[in-house]
Each structure stands twice: as structure tokens, then as C-alpha cells.
Amino acid sequence: VMKHNFIPGRTAGSERAFQDAKEVIPGGVTANIKYFSPYPLVMEKGKGSRLLDVDGNEYIDYLLCYGALILGHGHSRVAEAVISQMNSSGTFIFGSPHQLEVEMARKLITLFPGIEMVRYTNSGLEATLLSIRLAEAYTGKRKVAKFEGHYHGGYDQMLVSVNPDAGKAGQASNPNPVPDSKGISDYHLEHTIVLPFNDLEATEKILRKHKDELSSVILEPIQGGFIPAEEKFMKGLRKITEELGILLIFDEVKTGFRLTVGGAQTIYNIKPDITALGKVLGGGFPIGAVGGKKEIMAIMSPDRGKDILTAGAKNDVKDDVMFHSGTYNGHPIVLAAGMATIEVLEEPGTMEELLRKSNNLRKELEKLYNKYNLSMKTIGMGSIFNLVFTDGPVKNYRDMAKADLELRKKIDYELLHRGIYTKPMNRYSMSVVHSRGDLQFTIDAHEKAIKKVIQKVRG
């Protein structure tokens, strides 16, 4: 039996904790993506840009809870807002409407061009799920189109062609719907049309073919948070969907507050019909939100949106209301954390400095890999990027699949040994509290990792 030498002698506590967890939690993880081989590191403390594992190893964190922690760990402003909300209200949650829901909704309406009204959920997954149901209820059509390689949360209809095997994925310009999990019903495969990202011509062709059944197109404006839609593609997609009566859903769960506070739609200057938010919006607590045009959002109004829907609007609700609910929706403590987070991000210079840091790190890393004759490029936008080992362009899922993933994996494991935390193969997210020293440490760690990997590969 092969003995795993993960971080020799230094992560015995994580390994023990993992063995223990496995007895009561499948695979020892509460989300499949949190697993990595031979065992995930088990963390105990976080502070600022740092994480401390159960063995006392310290890491600079670039995973940042999959991008959610844009202010780093335990930011004092967020902590104060949470405590103050509990103290002033005397409760954790009211179970009734409350003022913060409106305050946050007004904030989101100001920030996001496509948002005129808001509903809250408890996760990004729920936000895209609700977006899709809204589109189906509004248009009366039953199918949804998504892009190959785009992730919208782990539920049946969206667990299609997120990460398909090359052998099953079909033609690049006309991808097959491939289930990403066991237990995905034929219904969902039949009702999900898969599109090729950044290929406007092929996308248009598929959309035209299915226009009578398609309620919506959902996409990550920046695939995986790091492969941007080309501007021409985005403009074209908006135009075609409008023409064909298909709603355009921007899944801004990752991008929402990480490019500019107002998300990718602000950068691209495109108004989606519906927007899904999450992650940063909760300041480290669980949340999601759906925003969109009044005419669409109003179909959730229990009072049938009488004062919102104009006479003759396409959507004359009459007696059908689209149901949406959730015990913890609009949780006051979460909203307080989110408001505090947005306030910090809106302070003059904060976003600019965050983006400057990300760009500097990207530049320095590219220079470094170049020095060692490794064709690595950083792909990304705003405060999220990824390291991709390839000579070719990276515009979609197929391009990513052509990159040298083995090399990337080796580097990532060496980085873990040297105090840089990303889940292997995951993108990098930057926080406002990462310091110059952190970045220099990161670059030095990469250099050591490169040397080690090259030594192994090139001998």
C-alpha cells in the first residue's frame, strides 16, 4: 500500500481529522468540491489573509472560501456589524419583514444596472434556481440554455456539462448535454441546452433552433470567475436573446463584487433580465439574491403585483403567482455582514487597490514562470485569476482542457507545502487585506515550487 506523503510529518492532525470525519461524513467533506487527495487540510483559525490548520501550519489564503471572503478572515467591520445587529434587535432573526432587507435591496438596485427589485435566498445555488424558475414562469417556456463549463450550483438542471469528459462532450460548436453527477434525470438533460462559450455564431444557431422552448440563457459573464466573455460575444448574446424572447440571466455569484462593486454587468455595460448574486454579498455568511426587471420580479408578489405591472404588460399575472419562500431568507445578521462588506468596498480607493494588487501579482508570476521557460499565463479579471499552463488562447472550457493540468497540480501541491493555500487546481481570489509582504511571500513560494517541480520533471 502506497503511503501518502502529503506534507511529510506536518499534517498528521489533518490526516487524523480526515479519518475521523470519514466515519460520519461521506468523504469527510460537506461539499464534494472541498475534497482533494490524499486528504483535505483541516483548518482551525483564520485571521486577515491567513489560515491556520489543526497542525499549526500557517497559509496565505487565496481560496478565501471560494471567493466569498473579499475582506479576508474575521474583518473587524463585519464582526462589529454582526454583533451590533444582534445587540440592537435582541434576536437573531425576526421571521417577518425588516428594514435591512429594504436597505440592502436599495443598495443592490443602485449598484447593478439590471436590478430593479430583489429577493433573497440562502445560497448562490438557490439564487440561480430561483432565476431559472422565474424565467420559466415569466415566459411560459420550459427549457434553459447554459454554457459548457459554467457552474451555477450543484442541482439537477445545472449539473449538466460543467466538467464533461472530452469523449462525451461532442462537437465544440454543438456540445452534448453531459450529466456531471449520478442521479440527474433525463428530464433535466432533455431540458438543458448546452452552448459553446465565446462562440457567437454557434450559440446563435443553437438558440434560434430552440427559441420556442427556451425560457432563458444563463451564464457566468466570466467563466469560472476567470475566463471573460469577449465583448462582442456578450453584446451579440444580449441582442439575440432579446430578439428571440429568451431571458438573459447573469450568474454573478462570483463576479458580483469582485470586478467592480456593481459586477460584470457594469463593466460590460449590459443589462441582463435577471441577476443571481451570492458569496461576497453575505460577507462570510450564507446568502444569495435574485434581482431583475420589475415586470419579471413582480410575478412573485403575493398581492399579484397589481401596483407594479402596467396594464397590457406581457405578464398579466391574473391569479397565478410564482411561489418563492425560505425560512432564513433575508437573514438580518447576514444582511448586516453584507452591508458592512459593501461599505468597506465602496470606500474610495479600496477596489482600485484590490485590483492593483491582483494585477501586480499576476504580472510578477508571469514574469517568474517565464524566467523558468514555462508558458504560464494568468487569466482573469478584477480580483480573481487563474494560472494556466498553455501556449494557446483560453476562451472556454475546451481551451482549459488543453492546458497542462498535471504541471499545475504539481505546482499547487508544492505551494501547499510552502504556505500558499488554494485548493489544488482552484482559481486565486484576492482580498483587501493581503499585504505587500504576503504577495512577495507568494512569489517566493512559487519560485521554490517551480524549482522543485522542474527538478523532478527535468531531472
State the maximum Cα–Cα separation within the chain, in Å, rounded to a whole number: 75
Closer to ligand PLP at the Cβ: 159 or 300?
Answer: 159
Other C-beta atoms closer than 10 Å to the C-beta of 353 total 12
**Cβ neighbours for 24, distance < 8 A, ≥ 6 positions apart:** none
Q: How far, in Å, CA of 92 to CA of 152, rounded?
A: 29
Which of 279, 377, 395, 410 is the catalytic position? 279
Can 413 be counted among the known catalytic residues?
no
The least distance separating ligand PLP from the CB of residue 282, rounded to whole angstroms, comes to 9
Q: Which is nearer to ligand PLP, 65 or 86 (CB)?
A: 65
The span from the CA of 357 to the CA of 354, in Å, is 5
Q: Is 151 annotated as catalytic?
A: yes
Q: Is 279 a catalytic residue?
A: yes
User: Which residue lies nearer to ligand PLP by CB, 278 or 332?
Assistant: 278
- By beta-carbon proximity to ligand PLP, the closer residue of 48 and 278 is 278
H-run or E-run covering 387: strand 384-389
With contact defined as beta carbons under 8 Å apart, do 223 and 250 qualify? no
Residues that bind ligand PLP (CB under 6 A): 66, 123-125, 128, 151-153, 220, 251, 253-254, 278
CB-count exposure of residue 452 (10 Å: 0-12, 13-18, 19+): middle
Nearer to ligand PLP, 60 or 158 (CB): 158
Phi-psi region of 48 (alpha: psi -120 to 50; beta: other; left: phi over 0): left
For every residue of 174-187, DSSP letters joined together read EEPP-BSSTT--HH
Instruction: Single out the catalytic residue among 39, 120, 151, 428.
Output: 151
User: Using an 8 Å Cβ cutoff, are 258 and 227 in contact?
Assistant: no
Q: How far is the CB of 33 from ligand PLP (least distance, A)?
A: 8
CB of 278 to ligand PLP, least distance (A): 4
Place of cell 415569466: 138
Closest distance of CB 125 from ligand PLP, Å? 3
Least distance (Å) between residue 131 CB and ligand PLP: 10
Q: Which residue, 384 or 453, is less far from ligand PLP as judged by CB?
A: 384
- Closest separation in Å from C-beta 395 to ligand PLP: 18
Closest residue to ligand PLP, based on beta-carbon distance = 124
Which member of 199, 251, 273, 399 is catalytic? Answer: 251
Alpha-carbon radius of gyration of the chain: 22
End-to-end CA distance of the chain: 26
Of 223, 235, 161, 225, which is closest to residue 193 (Cα–Cα)? 161
Other C-beta atoms lying within 10 Å of the C-beta of residue 142: 12
Q: How many other C-beta atoms lie within 10 A of the C-beta of residue 89?
A: 15
Active site residues: 151, 251, 279
